[in-house]
A and B are shown apart, each in its own frame.
Chain A
Amino acid sequence: MTSTREHGRSRLIRLATTAAAGAALLAACTTTGGEDGGGSSASGDVTVAGTYPIESLDPHGAQGASTGTQLAAQEIFSRLVKPAADGTPEGDLATSWKAGKDVTSWTFTLRSGVTFSDGSALDADDVIASFQRMIALNGPNAGNFPGDTMTKVSATEVVLHSPAPDASVPGKLGTFYVLPSGVGKDDTAFFNHPVGSGPFTVDAFTPSQSLVLVPNTKYQGTKPTLSKVTVRNIPELASRMTALRTGEVDVAWGIPDDQLASLKSQQDLTVKTVPSSAEFTMWFNSSIPALKDAKVRRAIWQAVDFGTIVGKLYPDTGKAADAPVTSVVLGHAAQPAVTYDPAAAKAALTAAGFDFSKKLRLQFANDEFKPFVQAVVSDLQKVGVQVEPLEKEQAVFTEDLLALKWDINFQQLATPSYDAASNLGRLYTCAARRMGYCNKQLDGLLAAAGATADKQRRTDLYARASRIIWQDAVGMYPMSVSIAYAWNSDLKGFVPDASGLPDFATVRTGGS
């Protein structure tokens, strides 16, 4: 008996020793800063948690409009015009730009002396070849320039011609990147180590996993002081937040409100929100009998307590919207607030002969919006309006959106060009058929606004267009979205970007 007990004890001791040795070995061979993680260091390395994967570095291809490719492209390549951090257009390769008399042409004067990262000169031929490549590849960015062509005036001057007046060209060119001429359609070798004229060059790229950038020594502007920027794809929000807290990454953004309080309490992190061009937009399908009457649409809007919903769900990143586009977009004009009044809403619906037995289909595409949509459905239920929330997969959502297979459509709608032309001018015309709403007067205003380069006149025209959209309740516009950023306080010069595309060229660390 004694020997069995002693045997058991010795086994227990052996087991404990093995476990302790294992733990020690684990501790000895582990550090939280792996090869691709580790946060900022004295050497000026910065690790970024990308919100979306970078699948491709080709800004003209199928991925050209994706956030991941845009984030990479703006660091590797140059554009004629780019949006500043607050959204206003500023010259990148172009030193100046001017619209032709009828706004069907735009002339861009190029900066001289610009070179690509391989030392070759960048000139008008590269700009034109890049534009032609973008159009030929027929990717999503090509859709911004239907029928447009580009011609060369001189080595430092190009002209973009549009088939119809288009005042929003400078804003839309924010997604057009210049590559050296001669890059083929599927030039994998080029895009593994692309040659660009942006502040960084590619050190290593693993699609959908990581992108390592190092400074471009031939960059025309102020050269980056960071020695390395690593963009890591961390799809899961909880994992991104953990990596930020442990210091494995230095910057993250797109942070939801419920995470902000704990991040703010962490001393070594700086947290900031910036207004973006995105707005919660809930279109009504005006082509169906139940929602044809503007009085009905306005009453439904009035029946939802958006102030409370936004305040509760998005205390930091939400603000009551006051126009169909946000305040950072050219053409924004504040409209009178729609007051929550369920009794008046119910009376207006009854007076308009609204059929309370009809169930309206509210479609949306992203799980993160479910609480918001459910709150709206709940408020509408209180006045007797029955709404069925339908969460759809993105591919199905887009198809149904275009086919008008919905009664109320929820989207977080951004205006990446920061110009109302690519939101109001594109989506609210009769020809667009986006929400079954057609108003000839609105069409006229939007066409006029797109046909003049006079900023003040455009703003006035969009203000009148916005008033019609708002008063006719083409949709409900509950919230302007701010983007929340958190970054390691050791980083200096980091500017949160309104598009969710921060630039790391001006960022520096203690050691860089």
Chain B
Amino acid sequence: MIRMIVHRLLIGVFVMWGAASLIFLVVRAAPGDPATVLLGPDATRSQLDQLHASLGLDRPLGAQYLSYLGDVCRLDFGESHWLGRPAMGAVLDRLPATIDLTVTATVIAVIVGLTLGMLAGARPGGLLDRVVSACTIALQSFPTFWIGIMLVLVFALTLRLLPSSGVGSPQHLVLPAVTLSFPFVAIIARLTRTSLAETMRESYIQTARSKGLTERQVLFGHALRNSLIPVVTVVGVQVGALVGGAVIVENVFAWPGLGSLVVEAVANRDYTVVQGATLLIAGIVVVLNLMADLLVAQLDPRIRTGAV
């Protein structure tokens, strides 16, 4: 187990270096000069040169890369000239809102998705299975912005039950979290359903039934644990994607999360913020995947003991 953790951590370090290098190159490869964006079209040549020097963009790319890697190792992500403050400070300011949104959406998705998946997978082909399958396909098909706007129309504009946008109270979290969770619910439900249906056909399930166990005992005691292995892996990956990928939901609900910060930073060619945010998101994804791996190992003794 310890060997597995060390192995995963080493891979994580490699992933972080890869992400740091890739984002360094990608932001600089994109057309558009940060100094021109910052100073506007009326800036003089000398103003632009001065800012290029101040941003360190007048040095060769290799030198920029090496000093960037050195700074990252010292956890110095530089100053955002666009925002006028440390880049990582701006990123970390947005992190609590992102965590609130992501965790709430994940909890909703896991509870609802697992429940629906279990209901459908316990009796494959049954009425409930067909209804759940249709609903999950619909949930996955609707664009997130459309779902968000519909929820706002019903719960904020018509019923006046919830605020339409912003932050500040738990009520503000309800609509964005539910909107963000919808496609995630569908993924978990479909995956749980498929995995559970397959498990229910396994011979050890037949054995459990022949021993006289009730369907509930078979489901919760034998089938569910094994069915959850792919679900846990996918949840780990999906949560990572939600951390930086909730831009549309953040825009619709004026939710000040990381996703919208990254989009603004890319548009403004704010290299330090893009780099800082990307590395933070990469770090979160690495940690979540490690946690998912540990959980899977906990569920499957063969992985724990290195049998597979």
Contact = CB atoms under 8 A, between A and B. Distances in A.
A236 B267 CA distance: 16
Nearest to A38: B163
A234 interface: yes
Contact of B268 (A138, A140, A395): A395
Contacts of B167: 34, 36, 209
A401 B37 CA distance: 12
Nearest to A64: B84
Interface residues of B, number: 55
Interface of B: 30-34, 36-44, 47, 50-51, 79, 81-85, 90, 93, 149, 152-153, 156-157, 160-172, 174, 251-254, 256, 260-261, 264, 267-269
A37 to B, nearest CB: 5
Contacts of A33: 163
Contacts of B50: 138
**Closest 5 interchain pairs by CB?**
A395-B32, A35-B168, A36-B168, A234-B254, A34-B169
A412 interface: no
B32 A207 contact: no
Contact of B82 (A55, A144, A233): A55
Interface of A: 26-27, 29-37, 53, 55-56, 58, 61-63, 65, 138-140, 142-144, 146, 186, 188, 206-210, 232-236, 238-239, 242-243, 245-246, 248, 393-396, 398-399, 401-402, 426
B43 A143 contact: yes
Given A37-B163, A399-B36, 20 more contacts: A34-B172, A53-B264, A58-B84, A138-B47, A138-B50, A140-B40, A140-B42, A140-B43, A142-B47, A186-B79, A207-B85, A208-B261, A209-B256, A234-B165, A242-B152, A248-B166, A394-B37, A395-B30, A395-B36, A398-B36
Contacts of A426: 42
B40 A65 contact: yes
B49 to A, nearest CB: 11
Given A34-B172, A140-B39, A242-B164, A393 B83 contact: no
Contacts of B264: 53, 208
B166 A143 contact: no
Contacts, number: 161
A454 B273 CA distance: 48
Given A138-B50, A140-B40, A398 B32 contact: yes
A71 to B, nearest CB: 16
Q: Name the residue among A144, A394, A401, A426 with the largest chain B CB count within 10 angstroms.
A: A394
A401 B41 contact: yes
10 contacts: A30-B171, A32-B162, A32-B163, A33-B163, A207-B90, A234-B166, A238-B252, A243-B165, A395-B269, A398-B41
B33 A399 contact: yes
Contacts of A144: 42
A316 B180 CA distance: 36
A32 B166 contact: no
A52 to B, nearest CB: 11
A396 B41 contact: no
B215 to A, nearest CB: 13
Contacts of B32: 393-396, 398-399
A81 B251 CA distance: 36
Contacts of B36: 395, 398-399, 402
Contacts of B85: 56, 186, 188, 207
A37 B261 CA distance: 22
B252 A239 contact: yes
A146 B42 CA distance: 11
Contacts of A36: 166-168
A426 B43 CA distance: 12
B127 to A, nearest CB: 12
B161 A26 contact: yes
A242 B157 contact: yes
Contacts of B166: 34, 36-37, 210, 232, 234, 243, 248
Nearest to B38: A62
A102 B46 CA distance: 27
A161 B268 CA distance: 33
A55 B40 contact: no
B32 to A, nearest CB: 3
A95 B169 CA distance: 46
Contact of A235 (B153, B156, B161, B260): B260
A139 B157 CA distance: 42
A236 B251 contact: yes
A121 B179 CA distance: 52
A395 B41 contact: no
A37 B160 CA distance: 13
Contact of B161 (A27, A232, A393): A27
A121 to B, nearest CB: 28
B268 A143 contact: no
Nearest to A394: B267
Given A206-B256, A426-B42, A143 B47 contact: yes
Contact of B84 (A61, A146, A242): A61
Contacts of B161: 26-27, 30, 32
B33 A395 contact: yes
Contacts of B267: 393-395
Nearest to A58: B84
Contact of A29 (B153, B163, B170): B170
A302 to B, nearest CB: 29
A31 to B, nearest CB: 7
Contacts of A140: 38-40, 42-43
Contact of B162 (A30, A35, A399, A401): A30
Contacts of B42: 140, 143-144, 426
Contacts of A65: 40
Contacts of B174: 26, 30
Nearest to A23: B161
A245 B157 contact: yes
Nearest to A239: B165
Contacts of B256: 206, 208-209, 233
